Chain A
Amino acid sequence: MTEGVDAVTVLEAARQKVPAADTAVAPPLAALLELTHRCPLQCPYCSNPLELERVAHELTTESWLDVIDQLADLGILQVHLSGGEPTVRRDLPDIIRRTTERGIYNNLITSGVAIDRARFFALVTAGLDHVQLSFQDAEPASAAHISHVSDVQEKKLAFAGWVREAGLPLTVNAVMHRQNIDHIDAMIELAIELQAARLEVAHVQYYGWALANRNALMPSRAQLDATTAAVSQAREKYRGRLVIDYVVPDYYAQQPKACMGGWARQFINITPSGKVLPCHAAETITDLDFPRATQQSLRAIWYQSPAFQRFRGTAWMPEPCRSCDQREIDWGGCRCQALAIAGRASATDPACARSPLHQHMQALAAQAAGSPLVPFRYRRF
């Protein structure tokens, strides 16, 4: 999975029931529904594509409800309701209610700034299961700078209070980069103060908007190491109180991450206009033709579409991946990262120490981290 940005933690999978990828295709476990690309925030590492989809192209309520029915029939267990900012959709209660009716666990991934108390409690009544709330920084002025919204922090703190009041579990999502990484301890304390059960410390991953802002965002190796140490101390200190999810960013990794749990093995992503992708960054791979939920059934897309089959399993792999003993652990890593650095989506993930471009990627990281700070290119339409 691409931990990053709107980080969506992939499930601890039903492994014993998932057959080896080359013999049979297992049903998907989770879906990320990007209900809209509209968002009041302008974070420069947004996981949405550079080419944002307009409101006029968004799926209708009926289409989203049909998508949820199809996902339930396919065997999806969890949906992540994301964006953009999903709470700008006025039909969000209907969407949540349908997931509950179909036995799908729902997770609202939100900035918390575009909804008032009454509308939030309407989501609770509709059956909201869990909230993941993003924070740009623990320091209000810096959070305002990063999100480009002046009163962002006070709104988020109020929102977190409503989540607590509703008795819902809260995950704090902290996207870390050069301009907030030294505040990691304060971010952890913020999660504790807000009584979050989980904290995702997600380093920015560099495609799309984040790639365009790489020099403004890339931390140094020393900053990364300090963060890793802070997280490991906090895990000890808050054992049983706060669960912290943490993944090293690709540019400083030695081994690739099992991106999305493997291409088209567990996960479906649907864009605001109904494009169906194996991961939210997959559209950077422009030579794949991604199907639409309005034109084909999700079942046909999952089991038969060329885009989903392209990097599924291990048969597509080049050497040294194909004979590597990690091939069914990392599933070849991230195809978007391979494309971004190696120029080919089928190349060995440069995050892997066995990639010929591994040193090159680390040099790019060092160069970006050592560059003078440049202004953000904010995410906007």
Chain B
Amino acid sequence: MIPVTSCPRLSPGVKLQFDRTREQWILQAPERVFVLDDVSHEILSRCTGETSLQSLIEQLSTAFEADVAEITADVEGLLSSLIEKRVVIA
């Protein structure tokens, strides 16, 4: 579990970028490229180190008019997998 007060951010050397050739959002990481779907992009574009996990979830829940529990599951699922890969720091 990631504490709700922590402010997730991209690890050093990781960049969020729009790939113009393939018209998709990607995460550039050391010797890895992650292709982002719309939900992942919405989450990761808020991982600036300035937004708490709780606030990030509230923002997404408002923006997508979705249930907080559902958004929480999506966000935690994505971020824990990227934390384990050392792409995100929380």
At the interface, yes or no: A346 with Cβ under 8 Å from chain B? no
Docked Cα-Cα span, A132 to B84, in Å, equals 20
> How many of chain A's residues touch chain B, expressed as a range?
20 to 34
Give the contacts of A1-58 with B (CB-CB under 8 A).
8-9, 11-17, 27, 29
Q: Which residues of B contact A17 (CB under 8 A)?
A: 22, 24, 35
- Give the residue of B33, B35, B84 whose beta carbon is less than 8 angstroms from that of A78: B33
Known contacts A77-B26, A240-B86, A168 near B13 by CB under 8 Å: yes
Give the contacts of A228-277 with B (CB-CB under 8 A).
239-241, 243
Docked Cα-Cα span, A239 to B86, in Å, equals 10
- Are A243 and B85 within 8 A (Cβ)? yes
Docked Cα-Cα span, A243 to B31, in Å, equals 12
At the interface, yes or no: B21 with Cβ under 8 Å from chain A? yes
- Are B84 and A240 within 8 A (Cβ)? yes
Chain B residue nearest to A197 in the complex (CB): B86
Docked Cα-Cα span, A103 to B84, in Å, equals 26
- Are A14 and B24 within 8 A (Cβ)? yes
Known contacts A239-B84, A240-B83, A197 near B11 by CB under 8 Å: yes
Docked Cα-Cα span, A169 to B32, in Å, equals 13
Query: Closest Cβ of chain A: how far from B11's Cβ, in Å?
Result: 7
- Are A197 and B30 within 8 A (Cβ)? yes
Query: Closest Cβ of chain A: how far from B67's Cβ, in Å?
Result: 27
- Are A169 and B11 within 8 A (Cβ)? yes
Known contacts A77-B26, A168-B12, A169-B13, A8 near B31 by CB under 8 Å: yes
At the interface, yes or no: B17 with Cβ under 8 Å from chain A? yes
Q: Which residues of B contact A198 (CB under 8 A)?
A: 30-31, 86
Docked Cα-Cα span, A289 to B28, in Å, equals 33
At the interface, yes or no: A327 with Cβ under 8 Å from chain B? no
At the interface, yes or no: B74 with Cβ under 8 Å from chain A? no
Docked Cα-Cα span, A103 to B22, in Å, equals 14
At the interface, yes or no: B50 with Cβ under 8 Å from chain A? no
At the interface, yes or no: B19 with Cβ under 8 Å from chain A? yes
Chain A residue nearest to B83 in the complex (CB): A240
Main secondary structure of the interface of A (DSSP, over half): loop
Chain B residue nearest to A15 in the complex (CB): B35
Docked Cα-Cα span, A78 to B26, in Å, equals 12
At the interface, yes or no: A167 with Cβ under 8 Å from chain B? yes
B31-45: CB near A (< 8 Å → 1, else 0) gives 111110000000000
At the interface, yes or no: A171 with Cβ under 8 Å from chain B? yes
- Are B32 and A9 within 8 A (Cβ)? yes
A68-107: CB near B (< 8 Å → 1, else 0) gives 0000001101101000000000000000000000010101
- Are B11 and A105 within 8 A (Cβ)? no
At the interface, yes or no: A156 with Cβ under 8 Å from chain B? no
Q: Which residues of A contact B21 (CB under 8 A)?
A: 27, 74-75
At the interface, yes or no: A130 with Cβ under 8 Å from chain B? yes
- Give the residue of B15, B24, B34, B84 whose beta carbon is less than 8 angstroms from that of A12: B34
At the interface, yes or no: A129 with Cβ under 8 Å from chain B? yes
Chain B residue nearest to A13 in the complex (CB): B33
Give the contacts of B1-60 with A (CB-CB under 8 A).
11-15, 17, 19, 21-22, 24, 26, 28, 30-35
Q: Which residues of B contact A13 (CB under 8 A)?
A: 33
Query: Closest Cβ of chain B: how far from A15's Cβ, in Å?
Result: 8
Known contacts A197-B86, A239-B84, A240-B84, A14 near B30 by CB under 8 Å: no
Q: Which residues of B contact A129 (CB under 8 A)?
A: 13, 15, 28, 30
Docked Cα-Cα span, A58 to B51, in Å, equals 49
Give the contacts of B58-76 with A (CB-CB under 8 A).
none
Beyond A9-B31, A16-B35, A198-B31, 12 extra complex contacts between A and B, CB < 8 Å: A13-B33, A14-B35, A75-B19, A75-B21, A75-B22, A77-B33, A80-B31, A105-B15, A129-B30, A132-B30, A171-B30, A241-B86
B residues neighboring A (CB under 8 Å): 11-15, 17, 19, 21-22, 24, 26, 28, 30-35, 83-86
13 intermolecular pairs with C-beta atoms under 8 Å apart: A8-B31, A14-B26, A27-B21, A78-B28, A78-B31, A103-B17, A129-B30, A132-B30, A132-B31, A167-B12, A169-B11, A169-B14, A239-B84
